[in-house]
């Protein structure tokens, strides 16, 4: 773990060009890394990543090659799983009509696609229903569930439903199974089964799973039931690309079985067998096998765009189609919507930041609300406010006297539980979610009171202290040591993301050999410490802050540099590159 901010700054950088103190690993972590490197013969930078994750010499090999067989939990360890799997398989065997009610984000789309593809392999076509974000809002609603129940025997709610007491009660005549991961309330809806690792009567041991992972566990159990009966189910390993995409895009922590889901899912994705993902990679101009970064920042936003500002079911249809022509048309539509989404987001972000700054950004909660703000972008804007202020943030779009908002939290502050508490007290029409992300609906005349109460609850969790502004450094490295081979070994300790951040390395006292602007705001550099070859670097958005001007006009000064290593692939060749994040005069 990084040393606390009260310790001496790493390389004596107490205030970098971006105003941050560099925080190195604590001495115990460094000793563990050195011992692990000696015992395993792994390079020290790799050992440092493993030591941070608590890996020992005995467990290193298994960590570097995570096996789904070893890490997959028993699906039956989740409450109601037996009932859900039995009813689902019964519907398949009896050729009953099945409807899938999914959320409009990537996790909901991936969860829906998992069931659609599995059922198609069994010769069944399911009905897909994704609610419109603006007209219907999140989760099941009375009218939709009643209509589905009239024409279907089984309704499976994925990535939603745990708090939907009324809508599930409205589904008269059909059985309802909920496969979800959102925080549960004190009571559960009257569904046939509610499978959710975040039910209040669960241990929480599997609380890090996204909804698609819960759906995958259901299919594992259904396949087991088929095998016990002497039958064979569809190939589940081929579905791991969908689980991996949902896991990363839903910002689930990449620990435990989630690491195996993503590692093996990326391998499946590299085979380019799913038409929807092939088309999406192509419109995203990916010229290499996707990585976890691409799932979160290239593919995920495009799938989300349909639910944010377009047609809500586009993402699920793309991920489940087996027609390359349909996939291409859907991917192009989502790519266009994603461009429109960015334009809408930029306008709302500027207005929200201005309002939040006027209200004050030093308290336990930063929030903004505006008439006509598109509900499809308020979550993204909340994330931007959180990043800019280091505080939990909520952004709300108002229309017709009602506000629909989304929030993002900081480490150690459970926003979902706090919002659920405010909803239970009657200040919100509804609300809930995860620790790090949540949604809410509020009457405009109760907005100020609700936000005041939410701020009070978050202050009790320490939110007023804000998120530390330190920049964690994993280890010191020489530019010449940053080789493609080392980066490939470091990547074996991944995938990196939420709960498992990519290692950040510092390069001391370096000379800038070249620096040039790329595009409107990016910076391309080459640097050396004088004892070996140069290392190339790229800093995206450098000229949006102080880094671009300082490094481009270096005037021969030397700098400490910090960032994350990556492989730069071009025309079939790979080279080492630093994704530069910060710098300080040496």
Tens digits of per-residue pLDDT, 201-219? 999 999 999 999 999 999 9
Tens digits of per-residue pLDDT, 287-328? 888 999 999 999 999 999 998 888 999 999 999 999 999 999
Asked if residue 572 has pLDDT above 80, the reply is no
pLDDT band at 196 (very low <50, low <70, confident <90, very high): very high
Q: What is the sign, positive or negative, of the torsion defined by CA atoms of 325, 326, 330, 333?
A: positive
Same domain, 513 and 549: yes
Judge whether 66 lies within some domain.
no
Judge whether 36 lies within some domain.
no
Please identify, among 446, 465, 484, the residue that sits at the C-terminal boundary of a domain. Answer: 465
Listed range (14-23, 26-35, 148-157, 570-579) with the worst mean pLDDT: 570-579
Asked if residue 224 has pLDDT above 80, the reply is yes
Please identify, among 434, 465, 496, the residue that sits at the C-terminal boundary of a domain. Answer: 465
pTM, entire model: 0.88
pLDDT (mean) for 149-176: 97
Same domain, 278 and 378: no
Residues 6+ apart with CB under 8 A from 393: 356, 365, 366, 367, 382, 383, 385, 386, 407, 408
**Percent of the chain surpassing pLDDT 70:** 99
Q: What is the sign, positive or negative, of the torsion defined by CA atoms of 186, 191, 192, 194?
A: negative
Are 181 and 216 in contact by the 8 Å Cβ rule? The answer is no
Same domain, 577 and 521: yes
* 207/331 Cα distance (integer angstroms): 32
Judge whether 503 lies within some domain.
yes
Asked if residue 174 has pLDDT above 80, the reply is yes
For the chain, what is the total number of helices (H) and then of strands (E)?
Answer: 21, 18
Judge whether 63 lies within some domain.
no
Tens digits of per-residue pLDDT, 468-477? 778 999 999 9
- Average pLDDT over the chain, rounded to an integer: 94
pLDDT of residue 411: 86
Judge whether 491 lies within some domain.
yes
The CATH number that applies at residue 82 is 3.90.1640.30
Same domain, 327 and 402: no
Asked if residue 1 has pLDDT above 50, the reply is no
pLDDT (mean) for 156-171: 97
pLDDT (mean) for 546-555: 95
DSSP 8-state assignment for residue 383: H
Residues 6+ apart with CB under 8 A from 12: none
Same domain, 484 and 451: no
Asked if residue 103 has pLDDT above 80, the reply is yes
Asked if residue 167 has pLDDT above 90, the reply is yes
pLDDT of residue 469: 74
Same domain, 212 and 271: yes
Asked if residue 41 has pLDDT above 80, the reply is yes
Same domain, 278 and 416: no
Same domain, 118 and 265: yes
Judge whether 341 lies within some domain.
no
Look up the domain containing 257 and give its range: 71-335
pLDDT of residue 6: 52
pLDDT of residue 25: 87
pLDDT of residue 287: 83
Same domain, 493 and 452: no
Q: What is the sign, positive or negative, of the torsion defined by CA atoms of 26, 29, 33, 35?
A: positive
pLDDT band at 414 (very low <50, low <70, confident <90, very high): very high
Same domain, 187 and 231: yes
Asked if residue 241 has pLDDT above 70, the reply is yes
Judge whether 340 lies within some domain.
no
pLDDT (mean) for 222-247: 98
Same domain, 285 and 371: no
**Percent of the chain surpassing pLDDT 90:** 89
Same domain, 146 and 292: yes
Asked if residue 408 has pLDDT above 50, the reply is yes
The CATH number that applies at residue 570 is 2.40.50.460
- Using DSSP's 3-state secondary structure scheme, residue 584 falls into strand
The CATH number that applies at residue 404 is 3.10.310.30
pLDDT band at 3 (very low <50, low <70, confident <90, very high): very low
Asked if residue 138 has pLDDT above 70, the reply is yes
Asked if residue 457 has pLDDT above 70, the reply is yes
Judge whether 46 lies within some domain.
no
Tens digits of per-residue pLDDT, 57-98? 999 999 999 999 999 999 999 999 999 999 999 999 999 999
Hey, which residues does 22 pair with through a beta bridge?
Answer: 471
DSSP 8-state assignment for residue 8: P
* 396/579 Cα distance (integer angstroms): 33
Instruction: Quote the number of domains for the chain.
Output: 3
Query: Pairing mode, if any, of strands 127-129 and 393-399?
Result: unpaired
pLDDT of residue 24: 93
Are 295 and 252 in contact by the 8 Å Cβ rule? The answer is no
Please identify, among 411, 443, 465, the residue that sits at the C-terminal boundary of a domain. Answer: 465
pLDDT of residue 7: 64
DSSP 321-369: ---HHHHHHHHHHHHHHHHHHHHHHHHHHHHHHHHHHHH-SSSS-EEEE
């Amino acid at each position: 773990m990084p040393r606390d901010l009260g310790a001496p700054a790493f390389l004596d950088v107490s205030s970098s060009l971006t105003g941050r103190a560099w925080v190195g690993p604590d001495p115990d972590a460094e000793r563990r890394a050195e011992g692990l490197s000696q015992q395993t013969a792994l390079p020290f930078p790799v050992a440092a990543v493993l030591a941070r994750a608590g890996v020992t010499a005995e467990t290193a090999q298994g960590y570097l090659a995570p096996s789904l067989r070893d890490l997959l939990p028993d699906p039956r360890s989740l409450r109601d799983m037996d009932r859900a799997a039995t009813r689902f398989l019964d519907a398949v065997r009896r050729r009953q009509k099945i409807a899938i009610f999914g959320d409009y984000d990537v996790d909901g789309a991936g969860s829906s696609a998992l069931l659609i593809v599995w059922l198609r392999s069994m010769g069944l076509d399911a009905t897909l229903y994704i609610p419109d974000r603006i007209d219907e809002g999140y989760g099941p609603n009375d009218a939709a569930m009643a209509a589905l129940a009239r024409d279907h025997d089984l309704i499976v709610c994925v990535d939603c439903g745990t708090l939907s007491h009324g809508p599930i009660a409205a589904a008269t005549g059909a059985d309802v199974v909920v496969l979800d991961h959102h925080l549960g309330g004190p009571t559960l809806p009257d569904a046939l089964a509610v499978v959710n690792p975040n039910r209040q009567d669960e241990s929480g041991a599997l609380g890090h799973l996204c909804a698609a992972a819960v759906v995958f566990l259901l299919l594992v159990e259904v396949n087991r039931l088929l095998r016990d009966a002497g039958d064979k189910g569809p190939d589940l390993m081929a579905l791991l690309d969908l689980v991996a995409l949902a896991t990363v895009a839903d910002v689930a922590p990449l620990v435990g079985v989630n690491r195996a889901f993503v590692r093996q899912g990326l391998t499946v994705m590299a085979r380019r067998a799913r038409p929807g993902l092939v088309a999406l990679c192509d419109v995203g101009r990916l010229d290499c096998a996707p990585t976890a970064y691409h799932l979160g920042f290239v593919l995920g936003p495009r799938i989300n765009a349909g639910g944010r500002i377009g047609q809500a079911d586009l993402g699920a249809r793309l991920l489940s189609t087996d027609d390359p022509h349909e996939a291409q048309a859907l991917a192009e539509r989502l790519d266009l919507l994603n461009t429109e989404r960015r334009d809408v987001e930029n306008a709302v972000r500027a207005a929200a930041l201005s309002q939040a700054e006027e209200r004050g950004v030093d308290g336990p909660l930063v929030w903004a609300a505006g008439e006509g703000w598109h509900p499809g972008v308020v979550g993204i804007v909340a994330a931007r406010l959180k990043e800019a202020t280091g505080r939990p943030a909520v952004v709300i779009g108002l229309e017709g006297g009602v506000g629909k908002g989304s929030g993002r939290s900081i480490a150690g502050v459970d926003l979902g539980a706090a919002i659920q508490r405010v909803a239970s007290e009657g200040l919100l029409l509804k609300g809930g979610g995860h620790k790090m992300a949540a949604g809410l609906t509020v009457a405009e005349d109760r907005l100020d009171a609700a936000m005041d109460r939410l701020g009070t609850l978050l202050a009790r969790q320490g939110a007023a202290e804000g998120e530390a502004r330190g920049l964690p450094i994993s280890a010191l490295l020489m530019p010449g040591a940053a080789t493609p081979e080392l980066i490939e070994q470091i990547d074996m300790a991944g995938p990196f993301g939420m709960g498992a951040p990519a290692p950040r390395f510092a390069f001391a006292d370096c000379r800038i050999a070249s620096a040039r602007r790329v595009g409107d705001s990016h910076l391309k550099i080459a640097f050396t410490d004088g004892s070996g070859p140069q290392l190339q670097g790229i800093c995206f958005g450098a000229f949006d802050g102080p880094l671009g001007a300082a490094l481009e006009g270096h005037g021969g000064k030397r700098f400490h540099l910090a960032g994350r290593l990556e492989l730069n692939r071009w025309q079939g060749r790979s080279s080492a590159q630093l994704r530069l994040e910060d710098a300080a005069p040496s």
